């Protein structure tokens, strides 16, 4: 409950994960101030992460709308859709929208997200070359599909392979061109990548590694791609999956930025009352132990939520970000977090591999603390390991069973008992109140 009536104007640029989470958390503590949400996208909020599911035809468009139609009304928020922020005067706290109108604010959240990186090679402007970042991209690809027999995916990361999976499910022959030696080079280690690659290939997705597209051929429309080894692949559709870059545009030069806008532990930028969250922000990564961009949904929601609370006058510390992801292809699940390919000394890797059952567990430990891990197939324990890592728990007592097939939350309870102060969530304490006869 607010202790007094506030009369702020909160401007929030961006209406995806971080922006929405901020609106919701502000309204939890401040029901009286104005909130203005500006987005350059024309639709009501949707989930980008679900675009590949939509593209795959597994779900229809309705699945994308992550908030109800009356969302803005419910949260008493003024919304400006299809509106570009063309300028920002941070000193005077005003935004310029669509090149004319001005909006004043007391607090600003930059949740402008990220854009897909494009590929600057010859022919990349031809019809049939796509990225997969927006609903327009997905609809564009879907419109092409009836005339597509072969598709080429440039990039072996998350977006590239999700797109490949989606097209395969649509019956398109898919060839994935990966520059690195392994797929998922950011997310997985080599062993896990090989298991996933084999699984994808068994299910009919062609993958070539160590190659790059040199030129896209075709008249107006794409008819093929020429690789850097001189070979040519026929295709009528190309999707570029080369990662994303933070959208810094309007505040570039005004706030401190690296790969994203630098945000402190309150998610404020170096300029007072200007906050950043989501894919556009760069915060401290507790597992990598450095400033890092972690452009993932859970981080965006968390940052938006914390930023919103701090904007509304609460003093909430952000625990820090971390990298993690979850994928599922043809019923094989894979997840990873933190450091998966340790470089330098001091790391220990706990590994269990059962290639026949496609079970793979790798846990990276540094100084008796978990700093990363990769799981294939039995992924249910992923969250347990992740939280042990985030809370910097000393796992020396259970190190020998962490990668064990029968590891589960039960094995963590003795640790909660011994390191009570490190386990923050109240639910942790609930689970061990009666552990040991003397409690």
Partner 1 sequence: MVQSKKIFCDITRCIACRTCEIACAVEHSITKDLFLGMLERPRPKKRAFVFFLERDVSRSTACQHCEEPPCMEACMSGCISKDEKTGKVDIDRSRCVGCWMCIMVCPFGIISRDITDKNKALKCDLCPDRESPACVDACPTKTLAYESRDEFLKRIKQAKKVYAHSHKK
Instruction: List residues near partner 1 by CB under 8 A.
Output: 17, 21, 47, 49-50, 53, 58-59, 63, 66-67, 297-298, 301-302, 305, 324-326, 328, 331, 333, 335, 337, 379-384, 386-387, 408-411, 413-414, 425-428, 430-435, 437-439
Give the C-alpha separation, 194 to 189, whole Å. 9
Please, what is the minimum distance in Å from the beta carbon of residue 407 to partner 1?
9
In sign, the C-alpha dihedral spanning 392, 398, 403, 406 is negative
The candidate with the shortest Cα–Cα distance to 318, out of 262, 260, 267, is 267
By C-beta, is 259 or 413 nearer to partner 1?
A: 413
By C-beta, is 224 or 338 nearer to partner 1?
A: 338
The H or E element that residue 164 is part of is helix 158-169
Please, what is the minimum distance in Å from the beta carbon of residue 286 to partner 1?
14
Compute, in degrees rounded to 10, the torsion defined by CA atoms 313, 319, 321, 322: -160
Give the C-alpha separation, 323 to 376, whole Å. 17
Please, what is the minimum distance in Å from the beta carbon of residue 187 to partner 1?
12
**Any bridge partners for residue 312, and if so which?**
none
By C-beta, is 101 or 425 nearer to partner 1?
A: 425
Compute, in degrees rounded to 10, the torsion defined by CA atoms 131, 279, 361, 349: 120
By C-beta, is 293 or 386 nearer to partner 1?
A: 386
Please, what is the minimum distance in Å from the beta carbon of residue 333 to partner 1?
6
The H or E element that residue 60 is part of is none
Please, what is the minimum distance in Å from the beta carbon of residue 20 to partner 1?
9
Residue 118 DSSP class: P
The candidate with the shortest Cα–Cα distance to 302, out of 386, 412, 413, 365, is 386
By C-beta, is 333 or 352 nearer to partner 1?
A: 333
Please, what is the minimum distance in Å from the beta carbon of residue 297 to partner 1?
4
In sign, the C-alpha dihedral spanning 398, 402, 405, 410 is positive
By C-beta, is 133 or 175 nearer to partner 1?
A: 133
């Amino acid at each position: 409950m607010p202790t007094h009536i506030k009369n702020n104007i909160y401007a929030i640029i961006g209406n995806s994960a971080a922006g929405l989470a901020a609106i919701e958390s502000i309204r939890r503590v401040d029901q009286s101030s104005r909130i203005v949400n500006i987005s350059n996208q024309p639709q009501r909020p949707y989930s980008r992460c679900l675009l590949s599911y939509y593209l795959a035809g597994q779900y229809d468009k309705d699945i994308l709308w992550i908030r109800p139609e009356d969302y803005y009304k419910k949260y008493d928020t003024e919304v400006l859709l299809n509106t570009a922020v063309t300028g920002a005067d941070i000193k005077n706290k005003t935004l310029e929208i669509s090149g004319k109108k001005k909006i004043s604010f007391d607090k600003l959240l930059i949740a402008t997200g990220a854009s897909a990186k494009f590929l600057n090679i010859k022919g990349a402007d031809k019809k049939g070359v796509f990225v997969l970042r927006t609903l327009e991209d997905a609809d564009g690809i879907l419109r092409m599909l009836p005339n597509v027999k072969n598709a080429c995916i440039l990039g072996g990361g998350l977006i590239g392979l999700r797109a490949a999976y989606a097209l395969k499910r649509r019956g398109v022959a898919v060839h994935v061109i990966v520059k690195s030696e392994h797929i998922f080079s950011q997310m997985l280690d080599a062993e896990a990548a090989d298991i996933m690659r084999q699984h994808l290939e068994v299910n009919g997705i062609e993958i070539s590694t160590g190659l790059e597209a040199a030129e896209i051929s075709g008249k107006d429309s794409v008819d093929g791609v020429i690789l850097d080894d001189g070979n040519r692949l026929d295709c009528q559709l190309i999707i570029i999956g080369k990662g994303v870059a933070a959208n810094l545009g309007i505040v570039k030069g005004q706030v401190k930025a690296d790969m994203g806008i630098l945000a402190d532990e309150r998610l404020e930028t170096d300029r007072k009352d200007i906050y950043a969250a989501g894919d556009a922000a760069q915060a401290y990564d507790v597992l990598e132990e450095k400033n890092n961009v972690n452009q993932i949904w859970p981080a965006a929601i968390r940052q938006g939520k914390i930023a919103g609370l701090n904007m509304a006058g609460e003093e909430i510390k952000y625990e820090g970000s971390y990298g993690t992801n979850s994928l599922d292809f043809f019923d094989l699940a894979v997840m990873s977090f933190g450091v998966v390919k340790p470089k330098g000394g001091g790391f220990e890797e706990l590994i269990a591999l059962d290639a026949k059952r496609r079970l793979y567990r790798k846990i990276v430990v540094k100084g008796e603390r978990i700093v990363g891990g990769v799981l294939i197939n039995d992924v249910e324990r992923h969250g347990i390991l992740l939280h042990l890592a985030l809370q910097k728990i000393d796992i020396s007592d259970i190190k020998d069973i962490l990668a064990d097939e029968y590891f589960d939350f039960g094995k963590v309870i003795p640790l909660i008992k011994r390191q009570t102060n490190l386990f923050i969530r109240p639910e942790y304490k609930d689970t061990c109140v009666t552990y040991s006869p003397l409690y």
